[in-house]
Amino acid sequence: STLPDAPHLLLGGGGQDSGQGRVEDDVALIAGRLRGLAADGAPMLMICGMYQLFGNAFITVEGAELPGLGILDVTTRGNAKRMIGGLVVETEFGDVVGFENHSGSTVLAPGQAPLGRVQAGNGNNGTDGTEGARTGNVIGSYLHGPALPANPRLADHLIGAAAELA
């Protein structure tokens, strides 16, 4: 639960919903630092579970609410149904591709920009046509890997933003 003094690029992944509570405690210890880094333009790519924790809240399928960091203005609810399969999203970085496997249904608050529009797959929730969220250089997404090797323009954006901080 520590960070380097001057991180240039942060990546976060996912896991089973049952692990959200354990990870949330560690993330809470560095919450202020993560919010500050995001506000200062540090590039971050948060996939699946970390995408959910970078939002306002994750509400488990049982109804327990885990507070998030609020860096992305999204709220996620756990579902019994999983959204699994190929995902193609139209973004400013061109079409990005990946594999989604999540039971969280994420809804963007009014004014929160998505990463992009779903061309194939479910995306955030399978109903509104959005995938991921983006605020500044912080990107949250359900695009499981290999997200960066499969999407060089997205990788180049994150690396370029990191180089500007160096």
The residues that are catalytic are 48, 144
* 3-state SS, residue 22: helix
Token duo for residue 97:
């591709």
CA 51 from centre of chain: 3
Strands, E assignment, the chain:
10-12, 44-47, 57-59, 65-67, 74-91, 94-108, 116-120, 130-131, 133-135, 138-141
